[in-house]
Amino acid sequence: MKIPRCLLLICVWSGLAVSVPAAEDVAAVITRARAFLGSEEAIGRLQSVHYTGVLELVDAGAPKDAKPVRSTIEVIFQKPYRQLMVITSDSIIETTGLNDFDAWVRQQQKGDPTRWRMRILPVDQIRRLRAITWENLAFFQGIEAVGGRIVDGGDTVVDGKACRKLTFSHDEGILFARYFDNKTGQLLLTESETGTVIREEGEVQTNGLRFPQRIITINKEKDKVVSTMTINFDKVATNETINAKIFAVPSTR
């Protein structure tokens, strides 16, 4: 099974004028967005997030009556730059790991641990995994401290709601354009520089923080939809005791 290019990675709008005061700075937008997700105290305590759920993948080229390809999914993010994603289909267990500057993918035949293969990921993919990990744990604040920046895209409208566009720019042109509701601070839509569109639906609350219950990712290539991936989470846990060894590159012995 091919790993999705962007998980969480984890939203169509018009160019109508909106009523946000022009003087409101980026910091105020981020403060409101963070407040929507939880208190500063709860955000400050966050060290890890552990998602479990079901992934459904629909290929745009599949017949209209084709059923989605279903897999279970487990994703762990841990500060500062650790990530583990396990996707289990009917025949393959695919694990992707990030341990700071090391990243890897291991595929194993389900039911037969002796049949497996592994590869170390190249630098460009490591950078993307690091950016995704930061995006899932930082709650929109502090990108400058890790070498990135925020580009203010100004006011726009998403789904009829006045919002502000902020683009979070990481190394090597890795971008996440996020659209925040002007009234509530809620994240309405996310786009990546690859054309991937991400929407979040519902909510799961744990330890004073609000997480999405469902993430819908539309992957595009040259404005053409390639696939739609929906992840429904059945559990979200934070600040668990996690053995750091699970993120390390597995032994090949």
- For residue 98, the domain's CATH number is 2.50.20.10
| pTM of the entire predicted model | 0.88
pLDDT of 123 reads: 97
Task: Report yes or no on 70 lying in a domain.
Answer: yes
Q: Which region, left, alpha or beta, applies to residue 106 given φ > 0 means left and ψ of -120 to 50 means alpha? A: beta
Cα 51 to Cα 128: distance, rounded to the nearest angstrom: 19
pLDDT of 61 reads: 84
pLDDT of 220 reads: 87
Cα 203 to Cα 167: distance, rounded to the nearest angstrom: 23
Return the higher-pLDDT residue of 71 and 61.
Answer: 71
Task: Report yes or no on 125 lying in a domain.
Answer: yes
The domain of 159 spans 13-247
What lies within 8 Å, CB to CB, of 34 at 6+ separation is: 40, 43, 139, 140, 141, 185
What lies within 8 Å, CB to CB, of 57 at 6+ separation is: 4, 68, 69, 71, 227, 228, 229
Task: Report yes or no on 224 lying in a domain.
Answer: yes
Give the max Cα distance, the chain. Answer: 61
Q: Kindly report the CA angle at 220 between 214 and 226, in degrees rounded to 5? A: 85
Cα 1 to Cα 164: distance, rounded to the nearest angstrom: 37
* Closest residue by Cα to residue 164 from 176, 142, 181, 187: 181
**Token digits of residue 182:** 């002007």
Task: Report yes or no on 2 lying in a domain.
Answer: no
Query: Stretch 14-29: mean pLDDT, rounded?
Result: 57
Task: Report yes or no on 1 lying in a domain.
Answer: no
**Token digits of residue 232:** 């429904």
**Token digits of residue 1:** 């099974």
Residue type, 28: A
Tell me which H or E stretch contains 53: strand 48-59
Query: Stretch 183-205: mean pLDDT, rounded?
Result: 96
What percentage of the chain reaches a pLDDT higher than 90? 83
Task: Report yes or no on 4 lying in a domain.
Answer: no
Residue 253 scores a pLDDT above 80: no
Residue 15 scores a pLDDT above 90: no
Task: Report yes or no on 194 lying in a domain.
Answer: yes
pLDDT in tens, 94-125: 999 999 999 999 999 999 989 999 999 999 99
Cα 195 to Cα 219: distance, rounded to the nearest angstrom: 7
pLDDT band for position 65 (cuts 50, 70, 90): confident
Tell me which H or E stretch contains 251: none
φ, ψ (nearest 5 deg) of residue 74: -135, 130
Residue 14 scores a pLDDT above 60: no
Q: 3-state class of 17 per DSSP? A: coil
Task: Report yes or no on 202 lying in a domain.
Answer: yes
Q: Are 33 and 182 in contact (CB under 8 A)?
A: no
Number of domains into which the chain is organized: 1
